[in-house]
Amino acid sequence: MQTIGRTVWAIPEGYIPSGGLDDDRRYVSHETACMLNVGETDAHVRITLYFSDREPVGPYRVTVPARRTRHVRFNDLEQPERVPRDTDYASLIESDVPIVVQHTRLDSRLAELSLLSTIAYGEAGGS
Amino acid sequence: MQTIGRTVWAIPEGYIPSGGLDDDRRYVSHETACMLNVGETDAHVRITLYFSDREPVGPYRVTVPARRTRHVRFNDLEQPERVPRDTDYASLIESDVPIVVQHTRLDSRLAELSLLSTIAYGEAGGS
Amino acid sequence: MQTIGRTVWAIPEGYIPSGGLDDDRRYVSHETACMLNVGETDAHVRITLYFSDREPVGPYRVTVPARRTRHVRFNDLEQPERVPRDTDYASLIESDVPIVVQHTRLDSRLAELSLLSTIAYGEAGGS
Amino acid sequence: MQTIGRTVWAIPEGYIPSGGLDDDRRYVSHETACMLNVGETDAHVRITLYFSDREPVGPYRVTVPARRTRHVRFNDLEQPERVPRDTDYASLIESDVPIVVQHTRLDSRLAELSLLSTIAYGEAGGS
């Protein structure tokens, strides 16, 4: 079977604005790490958040099942702590099997949508 | 002759919003995989869609002729089944010759345009 | 001196919308290939455009001087022919020395701005 | 400990629009280089700006401490000189230890937000 991906990914840009179209989950400002696991083995993923002025927080643990995609909203991460709003952060994503990671933000602060997206930076090295 | 590209590409972020400026094909919300084949041989491309909660669907089959580009809207894919709206998905794109793939979304849900784009994640390995 | 870059780049996504805020060069809808040459030698660049239904057009010739950046608007290319509006295209960019290429579009059709950008797909191989 | 990244990065697209929502730092048009240093050693970063019609300017010096992210707004760079507005530029980012760099622009000239972002182009070579 086809496999594709890397096991370590980085997203230097992170920022969840507060405010925006908060009454509709589709339009609320959010940051997403879209993960794809085309392999035959579940991916056990650890997300670590980095900040500008304090020690990293994590790991947040996520499973991406075999042959599935999972679009993880940073807004929804709760353990070990909620991701702060209006704060610069970055993320390191480590998986025990190869996955592919794409970063997307939807910003609705000024009542219209603005989007950004990029494939994250990936390397083959493990944790 | 110049060739460039990879044979396996992944786009983890996929989401076609329903609604938007539906009465004009230019402005309707859509997701596109832009494929470029600069080689002298037609590219036979297989697209497989991955979801969060069910088995992958595909392959969707597309041909990118030699020395041509093809901008495939996921909205238009019909066989083996229509791509669901308002649903997280991801895509794996496999070609028998090297191609280059770029992912773009136009979102017009709130009556103005929002765009995102990124070169997809590519690898040299074949299927 | 530091050098960085590749000699062959591809941008599969190309589309210049007609209309938009046409009376101000800053806001008119446009597509740009931003090229950076940090080396000590001028870069002689050849751009070839690919279409969905006809043979490629080119080369368009651009020079990026040593230690300079040049942000080339596809809208401005005239020789060998003007880039058609409202038409899917793609581009191949070949340089005789390493450069770095980033693709950006500004879309102002609906009277507000929408932006997309991505580093192009680069390879080391020459023409 | 995990390390990830490259030591040389390039962002060919640079442009800080004047105007926009200038009375709120969150919304003022800006360009950002988001840098992530997951290593155990502080990263000493040198940024050089390239222009279309004059010699490069720099280095601007920034430190990204160990296990920290730093989102540097080009708008805020002052030494050796302020970054000109409404002017095409590009940037080369060199670090003494591996980092990851993502480029983002927020454009608020027309009173709504537009965003672009991409992982920068990175190489392993040093200065």
Q: Which residue has the higher pLDDT, B81 or C116?
A: B81
For C87-112, what is the mean pLDDT? Answer: 91
Q: How far apart are the first and last CA of chain A?
A: 25
For B54: left if phi > 0, alpha if psi spans -120 to 50, otherwise beta; the answer is beta
Facing B118 at nearest CB: one of D112, D114, D118: D118
Please report the pLDDT score of residue D2 as a whole number.
65
pLDDT beneath 50: ranges in chain D: 126-127
B112 contacts in D (CB within 8 Å)? 112
Q: What is the pLDDT of residue C127?
A: 41
Q: pLDDT band at residue B125, thresholds of 50, 70 and 90?
A: low
On the question of pLDDT at A37 being above 90, the answer is yes
Q: Which residues of D are less than 8 Å from B114 in CB distance?
A: 114
CA distance D16 to C50: 31
The larger pLDDT score, comparing residue B46 to residue C115, is at: B46
Residue with structure tokens 């080339």? Answer: C72
pLDDT in tens, C65-74: 999 999 999 9
Q: Give the closest of D12, D86, D125 to C69, CB-based.
A: D12
Averaged confidence pLDDT in chain B: 90
| β A89-107/A114-119 pair status | antiparallel
Can you count the helices (H) and strands (E) in chain C?
Answer: 0, 8
Mutating which of A107, A110, A114 best tests the C interface, going by the most C Cβ atoms within 10 A? A114
- The residue among C116 and C127 whose pLDDT is bigger is C116
pLDDT digits (tens, 9 = 90+) for B60-104: 999 999 999 999 999 999 999 999 999 999 999 999 999 999 999
| Strand A57-64 to C30-37 pairing | unpaired
Q: Is B100 on the interface with C (CB under 8 A)?
A: yes
Residue with the larger pLDDT of the pair D117 and B126: D117
C116 CB contacts (<8 Å, ≥6 apart)? B104, B115, B116, B117, C104, C105, C107, D116
Collect all residues of chain A within an 8 Å Cβ-Cβ radius of residue C114.
114
Model confidence at C125, pLDDT cuts 50, 70, 90, reads low
- Is the CB of B51 inside 8 Å of chain C's CB atoms? no
Distance from CA of B113 to the nearest CA of A (A): 8
Given pLDDT bands bounded at 50, 70 and 90, which one contains residue B126? very low
Q: Does residue A89 have a pLDDT over 50? A: yes
Which letter, b or e, does each residue of A56-92 get, where b requires 16 or more Cβ atoms within 10 Å of its Cβ? bbbbbebebeebbbbbbbbbebeeeeebeeeebbbbb
Test the D interface: residue of B105, B114, B121 with most D CBs within 10 Å: B114
**Mean pLDDT, range B13-42, rounded to an integer:** 88
Average the pLDDT over A92-118 and give the result.
89
User: D56 to chain A nearest CA, in Å?
Assistant: 26
Q: Are strands A43-51 and C43-51 parallel, antiparallel or unpaired?
A: unpaired
Spatial distance between the Cα atoms of D76 and D64, rounded to a whole number of angstroms: 16
For residue C81, CA distances in Å to A18, C19, C60, C78, C84 come to: 48, 20, 9, 5, 9
Give dist(CA B56, CA B50) in Å, integer: 5
Cis ω for the linkage preceding B59 (within 30 of 0): yes
- Give the pair of three-digit tokens for residue A92: 């390191």
C96–chain B Cβ distance below 8 A for any pair: no
Q: Residue C57: pLDDT above 90?
A: yes
**pLDDT tens for each residue of B30-40:** 899 999 999 99
Number of residues in chain A: 127
* Torsion sign (Cα): A32, A38, A39, A41: positive
Chains in contact with C, where contact requires at least 3 CB pairs less than 8 Å apart: A, B, D
D112 touches chain B (CB under 8 A): yes
| For residues A9-35, average pLDDT | 87
CA D5 – CA D124 distance, rounded (Å) = 8
In angstroms, what CA-CA distances link B48 with A99, B5, B84, C46, D12?
16, 19, 14, 35, 33
User: CA angle, corner C119, sides to A98 and B110, nearest 5?
Assistant: 90
Confidence band, pLDDT 50/70/90 cuts, at residue C14: very high
In a mutational test of the A interface, the residue from C107, C110, C114 whose CB has the highest number of chain A CBs within 10 Å is: C114
pLDDT of residue B107: 84
Measured between beta carbons, which residues in chain B are less than 8 angstroms from residue D12? none
Q: Give chain C positions within 8 Å (CB) of A118.
A: 118
Q: What is the pLDDT of residue C2?
A: 66
Nearest chain A CA: its distance from D70 CA (Å): 6
ipTM attached to this prediction:
0.93
